[in-house]
Amino acid sequence: MTKAELVEAVREGAGIGKGQAEAAVNAFLGTVTKCLKKGDKLTLTGFGTFSVSNRKARMGRNPQTGEAIKIKAAKVPKFSAGKELKESVGGKKK
């Protein structure tokens, strides 16, 4: 699903105009981004949690040359699916 398709789905689901739906999607994405930039996490109970993970510096290989290279440490966004989302996508376990 693309962002345009998401906007259309929000428009249909909420019964609002396309401009309002696009503003809502952009506001949500902006809020998640700001929250993660501050180092906070955002939890949507049942859906999942957006957070920031610290990736350590490590050694890697250039796939073209095989040469060893240093990969810098980085902060990366992370999403952990909640119980309800997992169950709805993968089915319930017995």
Helix/strand/coil for 40: coil
pLDDT in tens, 50-82: 999 999 999 999 999 999 999 999 999 999 999
| Global pTM exceeds 0.75 | yes
CB proximity list for 1: less than 8 A, separation 6 or greater: 9
* Whether the predicted pLDDT of 94 surpasses 60: no
Question: How far, CA to CA in Å, does 70 sit from each of 3, 4, 13, 31, 77?
Answer: 35, 38, 47, 33, 21
pLDDT in tens, 13-62: 999 999 999 999 999 999 999 999 999 999 999 999 999 999 999 999 99
